[in-house]
Structure 1
């Protein structure tokens, strides 16, 4: 079915043409009758023929103007259609390609290009290309043969350029591309969006001059303005799509990270409503995340047996990170120990917008720490902390210069009338005082032997350059600690209940026992000598060998009273000894 608008336009043109033909016929008829009327003494009314000529001219002009207006109307309709398509079509390139076809048809150009400017490289990118088959088409991947000088001038000036005869245009003289390409009609307009130059729209005809007029320029300018908006919107849409994809990717990544983190994570908004609760937090607290998203934080945290309200307030209001320990009673796992870290969530203006709560299930760690504490009550703490050091020592041991201290904390003959149960409590009290003194100066307890302790200084577990001085300081501290204990018990034993022997020298240290059961200790003459000194001491006396005294860098104000020599089993010569005091 024919378009009604086109039918009406055609009828109007035919009517105008009929009117022109009728006026011409009347004019010719009057001219033929003019001579006859003159012979009879009659004349045509004045200005009749000139009026008919004027009418004929007006009708011709009216027909031409009608055709021009109809052509311009078709261009405007094409641009309106393009604008409507751009507003509804996501693929802007498809719309621009279709519209470029219309532009070439309306302007009667051979070729048309939409060329974008790469702002970073300043290179020209041919976004849309339309070329007639008869004039040759640019091979794929090749750059069309156009006047880059004209394109660069339009980009620089931001003004359109219309050349109805480019070959003879004074503005384009000296432009080699015009001559080389034999360009006749050229029309190039800028793609402007606000103050930004995006590129140009370029059309030409290499065969006809005077093809483009102001009307084609106006059409192409309108097309360029619409195309510039479309391209800018497309770029904005692409950036939004890219940003949305990046946000989605980051969200997926964060979700994966939150899901894979072993620590439980709970995040809230400024209203203390839960926005995030990861899988680990759900596992620790034994709850379903979807049941608590959007719920107050108080629906989860009150289950924790810790004073958490104060920590939350400090984190929210003071903007400070907090760390507390708590416990939770769960249905499946029972009581669990938790380490809880709270951190404020701040925005770009450093305003607190919520709180992040990190939960770590430290139940196993706390159990291990408790086991280690229990173990340290039976083994020297240094041995437990550095078990990897002594495990590397072979059963043969190593030779090392050490100081050995033996102390009898309380003689058994002072406990004759004490019941066995009370005896053990008293011994533990005195042995505890001596043990604290050993640890205070960096010594290690090698073993407990009933009411006695063997302590070592400068083993691999406690390397000490001043081991002799530390052993003597330990002995004097024991004396002070025992006197304080006597005062607490309200007794003043004479002589005192303790005796101590100290000797320094080379000993063999290492693991003794079997591959399945070992004990770290020290053996040798040095150890035996220290024991003999302790056995030779009287109650309340600290005996030190000359070998230990020689290893002191200074006497530290201590008093050494010479006692003479002591004969030790296995030695031919006696050992010079001294009594230590302050």
Structure 2
């Protein structure tokens, strides 16, 4: 076949073209005997053409493994797959160079057929993707770090903007439930304890609240000193999150603090529901994706009106609750809020 003859002739146009490619290229026959090995393959693997041509690629040459560390040369070899289906095969694999070091490559295999449609050879083109892998690992580590400092909504919005799905600076009006939580008499605690102890308390509390908020499908929008502001699409999730923090999170935290001879803490929680404006707020150099509006301000005021280690909600939140949760609340008191023509009714979780 002319194709095979041209491969074996180093002066043929085909051989010269393949040797000038940036990607590694080698050609095997149907028994996987190597017929051609280009210059880029030599540079990437350390094996010269003279060392490998005439040998089988499964004879301790490259020894590809997949992403799970499984040796592919005797089982799921991309070349074998391509030859078997007389088609193509694409895979990410880790060949071993002559020096013994493995490196990641993206490999594409295509078959060559004779005039009768029978497969006579397979061409594997492979590209070293070490830099891409390094970038991917760094990016994943970076993402992991960033997610500790921004809300899930902000992180998702950034990803959407990078993908070009969301225009920068776009604002939205959303119907959300806003939860505010803070530590009772935090100023007094900070005055009596060291800076390290104060920060440790907040990190322990915020860690518990973050886990529970996520479990209940919420998102911590921001940390404000000793306070947390979280948002939920469903008021029921907001209330379940608050109940779990009060009934499980805080008792567990205080149990550990008592065991360490540290003082227990109390918190207040308030929830309000309604329309909020979500958008970028800040300066040209730094912005936060956050929610603002009367609903948010009222949630903060409800929290300040609450009782230590109790949950208080607005009538707007109560109206959004399923019957199961609705019946857990009773009217507590009315509060006059600046800018409101009518007093706001507040409801408290029965203990």
Q: TM-score range by the shorter chain?
A: 0.5 to 0.7
**In the alignment, which of 390, 393, 401 is matched to residue 169 of structure 2?**
393
Q: Which residue of 2 aligns with 1:433?
A: 208
Question: Which structure has the larger Rg?
Answer: 1
Q: 1:475 deviation in Å?
A: 1.6
Q: Which gives a bigger RCO, structure 1 or 2 (Cα 8 Å, sep 6+)?
A: 2
Q: Which residue of 1 aligns with 2:307?
A: 538
Distance 1:555 1:253 in 2: 75
Q: Which residue of 2 aligns with 1:520?
A: 289
Secondary structure of 1:555's aligned partner:
helix
Given the alignment of the two structures, is residue 570 of structure 1 paired with residue 333 of structure 2, yes or no? no
Distance change in 2, residues 1:305/1:325 (3 Å): closer
Matched-pair contact (CA < 8 Å) for 1:541–1:579 = yes
Q: 1:286 deviation in Å?
A: 6.1
Secondary structure of 1:401's aligned partner:
strand
Matched-pair contact (CA < 8 Å) for 2:46–2:98 = no
**In the alignment, which of 72, 76, 80 is matched to residue 315 of structure 1?**
76
* More strand as a share of residues: 2
Q: 1:509 deviation in Å?
A: 2.0
Write the deviation string for residues 493-514 of structure 1: whole angstroms up to 9, x where unpaired.
Answer: 9985222111011222211223
Q: 1:573 deviation in Å?
A: 2.0
Q: Which residue of 1 aligns with 2:117?
A: none
Distance 2:68 2:242 in 1: 45
**In the alignment, which of 49, 60, 79 is matched to residue 290 of structure 1?**
49
Matched-pair contact (CA < 8 Å) for 1:322–1:342 = yes
1:30-49 superposed matches below 5 A? none
1:152-171 superposed matches below 5 A? none
Q: 1:416 deviation in Å?
A: 5.0
Write the deviation string for residues 393-421 of structure 1: whole angstroms up to 9, x where unpaired.
Answer: 34xx4433222111226762445544322
Write the deviation string for residues 329-354 of structure 1: whole angstroms up to 9, x where unpaired.
Answer: 999xxx997367899x9xxxxxxx99
1:162-241 superposed matches below 5 A? none
* More helix as a share of residues: 1
Distance change in 2, residues 1:274/1:244 (3 Å): closer
Residues matched between the structures, number: 320
Matched-pair contact (CA < 8 Å) for 2:178–2:272 = yes
- Indicate the RMSD between aligned Cα atoms, in angstroms: 5.1
Distance 2:26 2:73 in 1: 13
Q: 1:529 deviation in Å?
A: 0.5
Q: Which residue of 1 aligns with 2:317?
A: 548
Q: Which residue of 2 aligns with 1:424?
A: 199
Distance 2:279 2:98 in 1: 47
Q: 1:435 deviation in Å?
A: 1.3
Distance change in 2, residues 1:328/1:503 (3 Å): farther
Give the structure-1-normalised TM-score: 0.44
Distance 1:338 1:383 in 2: 33
Q: 1:372 deviation in Å?
A: 2.1
Matched-pair contact (CA < 8 Å) for 1:512–1:520 = yes
Q: Which residue of 2 aligns with 1:338?
A: 104
Q: 1:253 deviation in Å?
A: 8.3
Distance 2:275 2:139 in 1: 37
Distance change in 2, residues 1:553/1:310 (3 Å): same
